[in-house]
Amino acid sequence: MFERFWLEKARQALGGNAGSDEIVLEKMRSRVAELSDLFTKERPAVFKDYMSDPALLAAYGLFFFPQSFARASFAARRLLDFYGRVPADLSRVRILDIGSGASPCGFALAAALQKKFEGVPVEVCCLDRSRAALEAARELAGTQKNLFFRSVPADLQNLPPLQFDASFDFIVLGWSLNEIVPATGKEPLERALVLLKKLSPALKADGTLLVLEPALKETAERLQRVADYFVRNPGLPYYRVAPELGQHPDPHLAAGDHEMWTHDVRTWEAPPTLEFLNRKLFRDISVLKFSWSAFGKSPAVLPAVPAGTLGYFRLVSPVELTKPALRFAVVDAAGTRLQIEWPTRGLSKSDCKKMAARFERGDVVTLAGELKALGRDFRLQGEMRAVPDDFGEK
């Protein structure tokens, strides 16, 4: 929905008369590649202020902004629909977006709230070191209904104190924690905790702090360690509220299984401009991979376990299609990881594929029937169902 905006930003960055949309996109491709390499291969100890370069800001807008928006939308819907993180006061919902860039995450939260609670006024307050990105966010906010905008230019490099009153329903850090506090730098866990704790005075008692990070091993694993810290130190100042289903440490970290860092893998429909850019970039844009965690000053209250089921579980692996069964791993509310096979005997290959396609890594699922121990693994004799969100997307 923001494609036209970013195309025009790209055109301006190229001098205003670059030609057709296709030519603009062709010319932006090298900038997208530069950013993509920065985020995935180079990952410097200190990121340059790429958002203040008009061409890189536009490249981000065309290629990464839609992905951030879609990923954050997914987490936002889950928080509102499954984890019950609905603000008590809906007269004006306030969101603080830290390292906002042009605020895809702030706008995604706002859109999810306005979809669920039609017409609810939402204020998005963006903090970033890049004034150019904040200006783009301001322009975008101006195109949306019932959206109020505020911006705070600030550099959080040395984790300065933040002056906000406790008035935010949501605070979001979308792919910014790892830039403000690198996951591989000095004391990565401690410094991340310092930053997140500094944000606590700005969060309402029933508010939610949402952190989204790349699904790279070092960033996802650090976020998991952060979440584990709040599980071990509940209420100091946060409780972990999502996406796990109970107050348990991550079983993969606890077992030293460093090949299993928890993350979501979600299918989506990339906008045409992004598809076009990717024609010669060959990045995998068919799915969105990301890790996320949410925290609050009050513990999570999950919906009651549906009658007739064995409870809620989180799918932490792909669902693999092998000949006699679907195979996957889940973590239960107590934090136990279960490796499960679900027999498919008698089903055609296409039915098995359809069955597997009903699930995505990161889903909350219910299991019904019986889990029979098979050595260290389990066989499901029954049903698995993904928990849908209100918007009927599953």
Ligand X SMILES: C[S@@+](CC[C@H](N)C(=O)[O-])C[C@H]1O[C@@H](n2cnc3c(N)ncnc32)[C@H](O)[C@@H]1O
Q: Which CB, 108 or 227, lies closer to ligand X?
A: 108
Rounded to 10 degrees, the C-alpha dihedral 243/249/254/259 comes to 10
Burial 113-145 (b: 16+ CB within 10 A, else e): bbebeeebbbbbbbbbbbebbbebbbebbeebe
Kindly state whether residue 130 participates in binding ligand X, applying the rule CB under 6 A.
yes
128, 169, 244, 341: residue in contact with ligand X (rule CB under 6 A)? 128
Distance separating alpha carbons of residues 193 and 29, to the nearest angstrom: 36
149 bridge partner residues: 124
Q: Which CB, 197 or 327, lies closer to ligand X?
A: 197
Kindly state whether residue 290 participates in binding ligand X, applying the rule CB under 6 A.
no
Q: Which CB, 130 or 273, lies closer to ligand X?
A: 130
Kindly state whether residue 204 participates in binding ligand X, applying the rule CB under 6 A.
no
Minimum Å distance from CB 355 to ligand X? 34
- Mark residues 9-48: x for contact with ligand X by CB under 6 A, - for none: --------------------------------------x-
Interface with ligand X by CB under 6 A: which range of 7-15, 152-160, 352-360, 384-392? 152-160
- Closest by CA to 175, choosing from 223, 138, 230, is 223
CA distances from 344 to 257, 317, 387 (A): 29, 18, 21
Distance separating alpha carbons of residues 31 and 24, to the nearest angstrom: 12
Non-local CB neighbours of 87 within 8 Å, separated by 6+ positions:
93, 169, 170, 204, 206, 207
Distance separating alpha carbons of residues 103 and 107, to the nearest angstrom: 6
Q: Which CB, 140 or 384, lies closer to ligand X?
A: 140
Residues touching ligand X, count (CB under 6 A): 22
Kindly state whether residue 278 participates in binding ligand X, applying the rule CB under 6 A.
no
Contact 167, 29 (CB under 8 A): no
Kindly state whether residue 73 participates in binding ligand X, applying the rule CB under 6 A.
no
CA distances from 285 to 33, 58, 162, 270 (A): 13, 18, 36, 7
Interface with ligand X by CB under 6 A: which range of 155-163, 193-201, 266-274, 370-378? 155-163
Helix (H) or strand (E) holding 170: strand 168-174
195: phi then psi, degrees, rounded to nearest 5: -65, -50
Minimum Å distance from CB 128 to ligand X? 5
Interface with ligand X by CB under 6 A: which range of 127-135, 246-254, 274-282, 302-310? 127-135
Kindly state whether residue 322 participates in binding ligand X, applying the rule CB under 6 A.
no
Kindly state whether residue 175 participates in binding ligand X, applying the rule CB under 6 A.
yes
73, 114, 176, 291: residue in contact with ligand X (rule CB under 6 A)? 176
Kindly state whether residue 174 participates in binding ligand X, applying the rule CB under 6 A.
yes
Binding site for ligand X (CB under 6 A): 47, 51, 64-65, 68, 99-101, 104-105, 128-130, 133, 155-157, 174-176, 179-180
